Structures are given as C-alpha cells and as structure tokens.
C-alpha cells in the first residue's frame, strides 16, 4: 500500500484500492519523467495513469553523457533518489536508460554506483556522435552500411557494458531513418543481428519489446521476426516498455506486446534491485 499512500500524499488525497496482489501485476519497464530532458511528465501523473491500467512502472530516465544537441541529458542520481525514493516500492521501481557510447564505460559505472537503481537499460541513440533522430547523420550514407554499422556498434557496446540489464529499442534507427524502406529487417542483416543476440545471451542481458512503433503493422511484423530469432538463439526473457514521455502513452499496445512475447516463447519480466522479477 505504500505506493498508493505516497501517491495520495503527492496528489493531496488518498487513493483507496483493493489491489494487494503485487504478484499479478504487469510492469511498463521503460518510461521517462521530468528527470529526462525530453519529458515533462511528473511522477504523480505517471502513477495515476498506471494505477488506472493496473500496471506497475519502472522509471528509466535518460542519461546520455555526450548528447550533441541542446538538451542536457544528464541528471543527478542523488536528486532523483531524493525526489522519488519515497514513492519507490512494489508498484514503482527506479531505473535509468543509459545511452551507450564508446569510451564511456567507466563514466557510466561511476554514475550507476551513485544510487541503487532497480533497472539499467542500455540504448544506442548515437552513431558516430550523431543522434539517429538527426537527419543530417544519414547524409551520404547508404542504408545497408548505416544499419550494419548501427547493429555492429550495438553488439560492441553490449559486450563492453555487460553490467546493463536490458537492451532498449533494437529498432530505434527505424523510428527516424529517412530511407524509403526504413524497417530493420532480419533478412537484410542476419549476421549483425545474430551477433547482437549472441552478445545479449552471453552477457545475460535481456532484450526489450519497445512498443513505441506498435501502431505500425509493418514494424510489428518485422519485430516479430527479430524476437523469434532471439528466442531461437537462446533468449528466454523480455521486458516490455512503452518508452512513454507522456502519461497517455503508458502501457500503449501492451496486449499486442504480451501476445508477441507469448507467441515467440519469451517470458516477460521486469527488474527490481537489478534482479529479474517475473510478471503476469
Ligand atoms: Zn531510448
Ligand atoms: Zn526511452
């Protein structure tokens, strides 16, 4: 009940609920609140939305030490803990989404040592120092070469940062790449994708189902092939995350994500104190 009491405190009223069965709770394991430079969502907004959906949450705030744009994607773990630790409990866990960049492993380790994070997502946001969000990063680059570089960097970064719990949004590049057929298709990059999955399995890192692109049937179709391959190579677990930056996006497309996990033979989990926790 701690979470509800805490939310009630923040909102100025007490939410009464019968929800005691934490074991039956499903988690959205990837979302951003105002500690991320690109989100203004508050914790009470997120928790109220999640409560309505019967979901637990893991806040995964952005930490990108070398972000090239104007926004500052660095936050203080101490301030994060001071603000949210009173809300942390069975329904809320506190994590981080770490942008993986060559040469920053030691910096990342030092950052992570400053708070007892529940979950660490590692993500590739930058290739050659440019955010994949930025169209100029694709200029003069063939899609095949660009996507293969992205996947090779991903495998290398997971290998060099084996302490991460989860690999975030494998299809991040397909959100923004300005090519005619921007989908990340397994059949175009089988060796590179296999190397990512092999590295995940060898380092005990869990792949994420990120539902951000689940409103696109083509994306879902291609992602299903990737998750099937992950399972075939020995992957057992999956986290599911909306990557919400606004409360309306929390838990988006989770029915489809659950169906995908099940049909691919993958078990959905979340993390608590960096340990895998089963969810239902
Ligand atoms: Zn991300
Ligand atoms: Zn994110």
What is the average pLDDT across 10-37?
A: 66
Position 5 in a domain: no
In angstroms, rounded to a whole number, what is the distance separating the alpha carbons of residues 280 and 276? Answer: 13
Position 15 in a domain: no
Q: What pTM, to 2 d.p., does this model score?
A: 0.91
Tokens of 8: 């009630």
Which pLDDT band holds residue 22 (cuts at 50, 70, 90)? Answer: very low
Chain CA centroid to CA 202, Å: 20
Q: What residue has token string 């608590």?
A: 272
Domain that residue 36 falls in = 26-278
Give the rounded percent of residues in the chain with a pLDDT score beyond 70.
Answer: 91
Centre of ligand 1 from the C-alpha of residue 109, in Å:
19
pLDDT digits (tens, 9 = 90+) for 41-59: 999 999 999 999 999 999 9
pLDDT digits (tens, 9 = 90+) for 124-156: 999 999 999 999 899 999 999 999 999 999 999
Position 18 in a domain: no
pLDDT of residue 6: 45
Give the rounded percent of residues in the chain with a pLDDT score beyond 90.
Answer: 86
pLDDT digits (tens, 9 = 90+) for 165-220: 999 999 999 999 999 999 999 999 999 999 999 999 999 999 999 999 999 999 99
Tell me the ligand closest to 60's alpha carbon.
2
Position 159 in a domain: yes
In angstroms, rounded to a whole number, what is the distance separating the alpha carbons of residues 57 and 66? Answer: 27
> Using CA atoms in the order 217, 41, 241, 219, what is the torsion angle rounded to 10 degrees?
20
* pLDDT at residue 23 greater than cutoff 90: no
Position 2 in a domain: no
175 vs 13: which has the higher pLDDT: 175
Centre of ligand 1 from the C-alpha of residue 30, in Å:
9
* pLDDT at residue 9 greater than cutoff 80: no
Report residues near ion ligand 2: CB below 5 Å. 97, 243
Centre of ligand 1 from the C-alpha of residue 123, in Å:
6
The overall average pLDDT reported for the chain is: 92
Centre of ligand 2 from the C-alpha of residue 135, in Å:
19
Tokens of 66: 């070398």
pLDDT of residue 17: 39
Total structural domains within the chain:
1
What is the average pLDDT across 246-261?
A: 98
User: In CATH, what number is assigned to the domain containing residue 164?
Assistant: 3.20.20.140
Position 235 in a domain: yes
Position 83 in a domain: yes
What is the average pLDDT across 268-277?
A: 97
Cβ distance 242 to 31 under 8 Å? yes
In angstroms, rounded to a whole number, what is the distance separating the alpha carbons of residues 213 and 189? Answer: 20
Position 188 in a domain: yes
């Amino acid at each position: 009940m701690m979470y509800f009491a805490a939310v009630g405190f923040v909102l100025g009223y007490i939410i009464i609920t019968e929800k005691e069965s934490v074991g039956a709770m499903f988690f959205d394991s990837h979302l951003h609140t105002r500690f991320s430079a690109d989100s203004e969502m508050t914790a009470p907004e997120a928790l109220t939305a999640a409560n309505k959906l019967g979901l637990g949450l893991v806040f995964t705030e952005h930490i990108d030490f070398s972000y090239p744009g104007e926004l500052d994607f660095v936050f203080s773990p101490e301030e994060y803990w001071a603000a949210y630790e009173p809300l942390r409990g069975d329904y809320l866990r506190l994590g981080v989404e770490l942008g993986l960049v060559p040469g920053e492993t030691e910096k990342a380790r030092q950052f992570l040592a400053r708070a007892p994070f529940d979950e660490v997502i590692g993500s590739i946001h930058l290739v050659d120092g440019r955010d994949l969000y930025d169209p100029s990063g694709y200029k003069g680059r063939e899609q095949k070469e660009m996507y293969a570089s992205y996947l090779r960097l991903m495998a290398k970064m997971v290998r060099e940062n084996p302490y991460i719990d989860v690999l975030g949004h494998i299809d991040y590049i397909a959100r923004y790449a300005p090519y005619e057929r921007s989908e990340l298709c397994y059949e175009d990059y089988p060796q590179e994708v296999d190397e990512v999955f092999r590295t995940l399995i060898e380092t005990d890192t869990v792949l994420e189902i990120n539902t951000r692109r689940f409103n696109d049937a083509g994306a879902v179709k291609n992602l299903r092939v990737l998750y099937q391959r992950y399972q075939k190579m020995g992957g057992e677990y999956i986290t599911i995350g909306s990557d919400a930056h606004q409360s309306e996006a929390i838990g988006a497309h989770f029915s489809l994500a659950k169906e995908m996990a099940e049909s691919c033979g993958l078990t959905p989990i979340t993390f608590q104190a960096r340990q895998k926790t089963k969810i239902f």
